[in-house]
Structure formats: C-alpha cells, structure tokens
Structure 1
Amino acid sequence: MASSTGIANLWEYSFLFFIWIVSVVVVRFLIKTCTSSRDTLRCPPSPLALPIIGHLHLLSSKLPQSFQDLARRYGPLMQLRIGATTFVIASSATVAKEILRTHDGDFASRFEFGPAEYNIYSGIGFITGPYGTYWRFMKKLCITKLFAGPQLARFSRIRELEIQKLLKSVLKSSKEGEACDLAVELTTLTNNLLCSMALSKTCSDNVMGAKEIRRLVVEIMELGTKLGAYEAIGPLKKFDIFGYGKNLVEAMWRYDHLFDQIIEFYEDDMVDAQDGNEEADLMSIVLETYKDTNAEVKLTKNQIKFFFLELFFSTIDTSSAAIQWAMAELINHPQQFKKLREEIDRVVGSNRLVSESDVPNLPFLQAVVKEGLRLRSPTPIIHRECTKDCKITGFDVKANSKILINAYAIMRDPEHWNDPLEFMPERFLVDPNDEIGQRQIEMKSQDFHYLPFGGGRRGCIGGTHALLVSYVAVGALTQCFDWKVKGGDKVDLEVGSGFSGAMALPLVCYPITRFDPF
C-alpha cells in the first residue's frame, strides 16, 4: 500500500513538474515574441490606456476636437483604443498626403461601422465598401455617366426649381412673421433635389414620395449611428443589448421592399438613357447598366438598392449642413454678409434671382462657401482601412487597421492657416492685391490642407454638385432676406456630438424679405 502510494505521489509530482516546465517554456516564448515584436515594429504613439475602456476616458462627445487635442500631445499620427476597437488617427496634411496619395492603393478601402450582421446589404457597398472590381466599375459609372458634367448640366433645371421652392417657403414665413427653421428647410431642399435627380418618375408623380424615402433613410441612419457604438463593446456586440440591430434590420427590409416597388415601376416604363433621352434620371441610367449584357460587371438588384441608400446617406445631411453653417457664419458676421450682398447686387442686379450662370462672376460667394467648408466641415472625419502592412511617416501600420483622418484638425492647422478659428472668406480670394488671400484652393482633393470632400481615389463623387447647390442657395438666401436670430443677437455655433459636423442646435431665424423674385 505504501509502495503504491509512493508511486502515485511520484507520478503526481512528475506531472506537476512537467506542467511547470511547459509553462516556463511557453511564458519565455511569449515574452520573447512580444519583445521581438516591439523591437521590430514601431507603432504610432499612444496615451496610457485603461482596462476595458481603452482611451474612452480621454474623449469628449465631440470626437474631432478630442482627437485634435490629443494630437497636440502625441503627434500627427497616433493610436487610440476606444473600448474594444483600435483606431489610427491622422491629424496633419503631411500624414494625410502619405495615406491618400503615396499609399492611396493601400488605404483605398473603407471599414463598416457597427456589426455587419445587422446590415442586410453587408459586403456589397460602393461608397462604404471595399476597394475592388465592383468599386472600380461603379466609380467609372459615376464619373462617366451619373455625375459627369453633361448629366449635372441636365439637372440644372431641377436645382433651379428646388431653390425656388425653398425661397417660396421662406417668403411665406416672412410674410406671416414666423421664425424659419433653416435646418428643416435646407434638409428638405437637398432631399427633394436628390429624389428628383435619382428617382424623378416616382418622386415627381408621388408614386413613392420623397417624404417616405427621407423618413426611412433618416431612421436607418440614426439606428446605424447608434449601432456604431457597439464597436466599443467588442464580442458583446453580437448580443444586440439595446435592440438597435433588430430595429435596423426591420427598417432596412422596409426600405428594401420600397425600392423593389420603385425598380419594378421603372422596369415597367423604362427610359432609355442610351438613346439620347436628356431627361434620364440616375435610376434609369443604373438600370440600363443592369440590363447591359456586355457590362464589365453584372449588377444585382441588391447592389442597386444599396447604392441609392448610400447615396442618400452621403448627400442629404452633409449638403444641408454645409449651407446651414455658411448662413450661420454670415449672420454672425454682418460685414461679410454685406460684402457678399453688394457683390451679388453688382453682378446680378436688383431685378432677377442669382443663378448658377452667375457663380463664375461671384468670387466672394465662392470664397464664403469654401471658407464655410473649411471652418465647419460637415464631414470632419475621413475613414479608411489599411489593406496591407505599411509605414506612414516612419511608423508601422498593420493590415486591417482602421484609419481616421481628422480633416477638422487639418483644416484648422495654425501652421498653414492664418487665424484658423476665424471666419475669413478673403483667404480664398486669388486677387494678387489682396493682402489676406493666400492662394486659390483646388477642389479636386490635391491640396491636403483642404479636405472638405475627402481625398484620394475615395474622394467624394458628388462634390461638384454639392458646391453648385451651396453657391446658389447661399447666394439666394443672402440676396432675398435679412435675418434676425430667434432668441438672441448671434447664432449658437456649437457643433454636434460624435463624428458629425452638424450644428448642435437648429438654425432658427426670422427672415425679413428684401427682394421677392416671384
């Protein structure tokens, strides 16, 4: 018995000794591996992180401003962990240029915010999708057909009519002595514009109206934004703790059903855009491509539906926010407002409404819009995904890293911009006798100090159209009305929370009619 007990103890001790030996070997291997990794990789600098929450405690609700403040301490390329997700943040034009030009191909993809399982179109996006054959095909379609110069010119009458609707609505408020919520008015303008350009047959005939499309798009956007917060909780996101995922799926299926009806309506009464029909809208052109048996890529209906959903996402709120910010700054700067009005009166006269054809002769109007986009960018953060290991300004960025380019910080960098926090449209004037104007800024994403429409091959495809709308809307609202701020002398210029560049409070003013063009 004693002998058997001794043998048992010997086996037990031997087993424990074996476990100890294995543990020592494994621990030494892990230490060596980690040490080697630190020796060979030079990661971007990062503040001290806390367990679980990472660097969340260092961020305010206004993320672009928080990133800018941290960049002053840790440099123009840094790494932050927000909960379970790690981001690499770029905050200078030099770093942006390396990402968007030198290594543009390595950063040509975008990552999805929020769990993919709640997006019924996950993996088939264009604006938010990965770089590849489908993306290149759709980019070519956008450049050569959907948003080409001739197509935008055909939409000029639509833009003119929608601007007139905006002015008539504001005139009504003026005559009745009521306050006008410009946030609502401008969102209606951009929504109706896009609906008329994209789906003229259904929206104009009220078959499937712009209001219903807008309601669904807003619901999906709001739920998607809430779902984006799930990135911070890592593996727990699959449990859909707050039910946002379930609600998003339901909203997207309602959108899917609506667009099935829209596509069916178009297919029953196709407009052949290839036969020279100048009234062809975006859906008509896309469906022609869908039916083209010789197309380089065979589109699916799900890709078409998601393409239009992305188009609404990226256009409606950003365009209206840009116009709203420009008007808010003008109202708060009466001398600039007066200077712009004098320019319009001098070029346009007092008997007709400012139009797109006047814009080339209105340099200060162009400068006002450009300065508004610099100081109050509606898209302050540009997001990308790194597809392979590379070096940026000497730091190692690993494949699949999530990249955030802080355009907000870049366009307020005091090393490039004089008085960067001041609203100074004169900085965009090109008159050599102008002491303030710095130089002409190209709107083609080649100047990495100025990124209102992103940059690189993933730059905004609708930038030209957005500028056209902004120029005429700002010009018309300045030409036709004086503005009195409701509840004070100045507009509250507080910015909203999160990644958004929208105003925290709506722009509500009393319009006082100066010129009625109707």
Structure 2
Amino acid sequence: MSLRLGAVTTVVASSPAVAREFMQRHDAVLSNRTIPDALGDHAKNSMIWLPNNPRWRALRKIMATDLFAPHRLDALQHLRREKVQELVDHVGRLARRGQAVNVGRVAFITSLNLLSRTMFSRDLTSLDDDDGASREFQEVVTDIMEAVGSPNVSDFFPPLAAADLQGWRRRLAKLFAQQHRVFDEEIDGRLRSREAGVPKKNDFLDLLLDAAEDDDNTAKLDRDTLRSLFTDLFSAGNDTSSSTVEWAMAELLQNPTSMAEACDELATVIGSRRNIEESDIGRLPYLQAVVKETFRLHPSVPLLPRRAPVDTKIMGYTIPKGSRMFINVWAVGRDKETWPEPEKFMPERFLGKTVDLRGGRRICPGMPLAIRMVHLLLGSLLNQFTWRLPAEFEGKGVGMDEKISLTLIKVVPLCAMATPI
C-alpha cells in the first residue's frame, strides 16, 4: 500500500510475495535505508544506516571476516559456554531464594557480557549487579531504540527537520554520549597499553585498531566510526537477542504442550541438568522450531526500512524516487494464506522444513552469533529448570502485549519462577 505521511510518500510491503520482490528481485536497487532524522551524526558512520557504498562494504567485510566469521565464532565457543554457565548459576541462586527471574534482563546482561568479552576482553557488568551499571546500560539501549523508532515530525516534513520540534535528535545525542563515554574509556585504555608495550589481546578492539592503522583504510576507522560501530553492536545486538529469548519463554509458558515437547527433546538428546553445546543445536529440531516460530510471531525488527533511490517498477506499480519504504515483517509472519492459524504458536509448522532466515544484503551481520546465542540461552534455561508464573499471575496467563519501536518490545517484562531440575 502507498501512504502519504506528511510530505513523504511511503510504500509498505505486507505480504510475502511483495516482500520477496523488495528483498530479492530488487534488493540491489532498494538496499539503502531511509535514515531517521533523530540519528543525527551517528548515521554518517553507522554500518546499519550507511548507503551501499565502498565504505559500507568495507565495514561489513570487517564484520564478516574478523568478528562473525564461522572460524572466529568456533574459536570463542568456550567464552559463550562460560557466559551461559554464569547465567545458569545466577538463575539457580534466584531459585533457591524463591525470587522471580526477569528473563529479558538476565538474557540481556548475558548477551552484553558476551559481546564485551569479545570486543574488549572483559565484562562490562555482572548478573548480580541488578541496580547498577547493567540496569543503566539496558535502559539506555531501550531508550535509543524507542527514540529511533518513534514517529517524528522531522521525518514527515523534512523542511522542518532543522528545528527538531519534538527534540528526538537532542535526546538521542545525549543517549549516544552516555554509551560513547564507556567506549572511549576502552579505546583510550587500549591505546595507552599499546604505547606502554603491553602485548595485544587480539580481541575485536585490537583488530579494529590495527585496521585503522592500515594504509588502505577504506572503512575510515576513526574515533567516531569506532563509537558508532560499538553503539550499533551493543544496542541492536543485545536488544534483539535477549528480546527473542524473552518472547520464546513467554510463548512456551503460554503453551504447556510446546514447553513439554521442547523439554522432552532436550532431556532425550542432551540429558537433563546439562547446558547444551553449540554442536548439539543441529540435533534439536524442536528447539530450532521454537526459535523460528518465535521469530515469525515476534520479529526482532518488525518494520524493515528501505529507500527508493530512483523510480522503481515493482509488480506493475511505479515507486517514485525518494519514497520511504517498509517491509512489514510482523504482517508477513501473520499472513493467513501462508501460515495456517497464524496467531497460534505452533513450532510443529517448521519441523521437517528448511527455512532461510536471511533477508537480503542488508541482513544483520551478527545473525550467525545471535542464532547460536538464542539457542544456547533458551536451551540451557529449559534443560536446567522447570518454569512457572509467580503465584499472583497464575490463572491470568502471560501478558503478551507488544510495543513497536525500532524493535518489538514486550510491554510487561516476563518474570517467572525457576525450579532446578
């Protein structure tokens, strides 16, 4: 459908057939994204928002070959195993104290520390730091996603953008500055260590600093670019993975039959009271189906933004140059002609089927890591504990209200009681 939002023509693809046209047949032309005005200078150095140009391709190559390449992910399995064990130990302590587990928060902190160990060779916070740095960092990430995804008059009436009438650009600049202070400390500390002759850690920060010194620095890895890169990774990467784990647990608590099927598979294939290994994921088709069904019903990014750089003809319609475009992933996942009983959580619909989760050249480069982490976290939580709602919520069910910003947020955080198996 075509909408006139203020002064901007907006085209929305809400069916699988049209989404396929956008993201496969015309992906080369429609790979650039409309940049929200609220992003300000961040968009100039962000791999998420840069246009498909040599600099974007250079940054993406660094992501693909130095951070998320299969051989590098395999080499860091021990780190993910350690973080998952810390999560299980923390949930076990909460269970012994009779305290509810905020599933989204513990998944977020685990993912945050995994990334920070990969980037900086240290944890940024602790699972036991419930009121300190971890809570502040998650709130900043949530606020960033809300600011980027909120309706903004500057986007609907570009001539008014300079006035920033709703203040979203000013607010987002302050949030970015909060994250940048953390990243600057890491960068400055590493540079001082190098000057002092301290051996390299060979983590992602060292790799980036080496690339910045390269004569052929197509990616232009200056300080602003490093800040934007870390902001993208720690914001988008943490929020989407932890949110998927939270939605999956919520759906399983709503659907006891699916919960029992997933737990039985884990007990049979892995054995109860064990954390799963990454090599086990391929032997757990029902767990994989649970994750895919969660992606279908609760996509991490419900509206994928695109921009038409030239007049583009699709399925007999002309999309004018400069049009804003969205692929409505949320609606595609609920298409009645594609999915029988689309509102129902049915992991069985994915059993015995090969489903490609990739989505064109702008697909998240961190998807390989995210897929591993979601399965590890969810599988270990299910195989180590039984889960139920707190007494005050029993009989009422799980609150499943959604809030759409840049990502799909659960309005009421999922808090559940864990009992060690």
| TM-score normalised by the chain length of structure 2 | 0.89
String of CA shifts for 1:66-97, please: whole Å, max 9, x gaps. Answer: xxxxxxxxxxxx11123343311011222122
- Say if 1:372 and 1:351 are closer, same or farther in 2 by CA, change over 3 A: closer
Matched, 1:367 2:273: no
String of CA shifts for 1:185-238, please: whole Å, max 9, x gaps. Answer: 122122222222222247489xxx777755654454444445746424554443
Matched, 1:503 2:417: no
8 A Cα contact 1:217 1:309, kept in partner = no
Matched, 1:89 2:3: no
8 A Cα contact 2:240 2:407, kept in partner = no
Partners of 1:188 and 1:202 lie apart in 2 by 10
- Say if 1:422 and 1:90 are closer, same or farther in 2 by CA, change over 3 A: same
**Cross-structure match for 1:256:** 180
Partners of 1:158 and 1:219 lie apart in 2 by 29
Match of 1:494 among 398, 401, 405: 401
Partners of 1:128 and 1:292 lie apart in 2 by 24
Matched, 1:109 2:15: no
Matched residue type, 1:395: Y
Matched residue type, 2:11: V
Partners of 2:14 and 2:175 lie apart in 1 by 36
Deviation at 1:397, TM superposition (A): 0.8
Task: Return the structure number with greater relative CO, CA threshold 8 A, min gap 6.
Answer: 2
**Cross-structure match for 2:130:** none
Match of 1:197 among 111, 115, 118: 118
Partners of 2:170 and 2:44 lie apart in 1 by 19
Partners of 2:344 and 2:139 lie apart in 1 by 36
Deviation at 1:405, TM superposition (A): 0.2
How many residues matched?
409
8 A Cα contact 1:111 1:130, kept in partner = no
**Cross-structure match for 2:42:** 121
Percentage of identical aligned residues: 30
Deviation at 1:270, TM superposition (A): 4.8
Match of 2:362 among 458, 462, 465: 458
Match of 1:269 among 187, 193, 203: 193
- Which structure would you say has the larger Rg? 1
String of CA shifts for 1:384-443, please: whole Å, max 9, x gaps. Answer: 11111110111111222111001111122121222222111111111xxxxxxxx22123
Partners of 1:169 and 1:351 lie apart in 2 by 15
Tell me the SS of whatever aligns to 2:28: helix
Tell me the SS of whatever aligns to 2:410: coil
RMSD of Structure 2 on Structure 1 (CA): 2.5
Match of 2:88 among 167, 182, 186: 167
8 A Cα contact 2:146 2:405, kept in partner = no
Matched residue type, 2:172: L
8 A Cα contact 2:253 2:387, kept in partner = yes
**Cross-structure match for 2:163:** 239
Partners of 1:122 and 1:353 lie apart in 2 by 39
String of CA shifts for 1:23-44, please: whole Å, max 9, x gaps. Answer: xxxxxxxxxxxxxxxxxxxxxx
- Say if 1:149 and 1:231 are closer, same or farther in 2 by CA, change over 3 A: same
Matched, 1:312 2:234: yes
Deviation at 1:343, TM superposition (A): 1.0
Partners of 1:331 and 1:290 lie apart in 2 by 48
- Say if 1:228 and 1:314 are closer, same or farther in 2 by CA, change over 3 A: farther
**Cross-structure match for 2:23:** 100
8 A Cα contact 2:91 2:101, kept in partner = yes
Deviation at 1:495, TM superposition (A): 1.3
**Cross-structure match for 2:355:** 441
Partners of 1:511 and 1:295 lie apart in 2 by 50
8 A Cα contact 1:146 1:285, kept in partner = no
Match of 2:346 among 424, 430, 434: 424
Partners of 2:184 and 2:411 lie apart in 1 by 36
Partners of 2:109 and 2:234 lie apart in 1 by 12
Tell me the SS of whatever aligns to 1:482: strand
Tell me the SS of whatever aligns to 1:163: helix
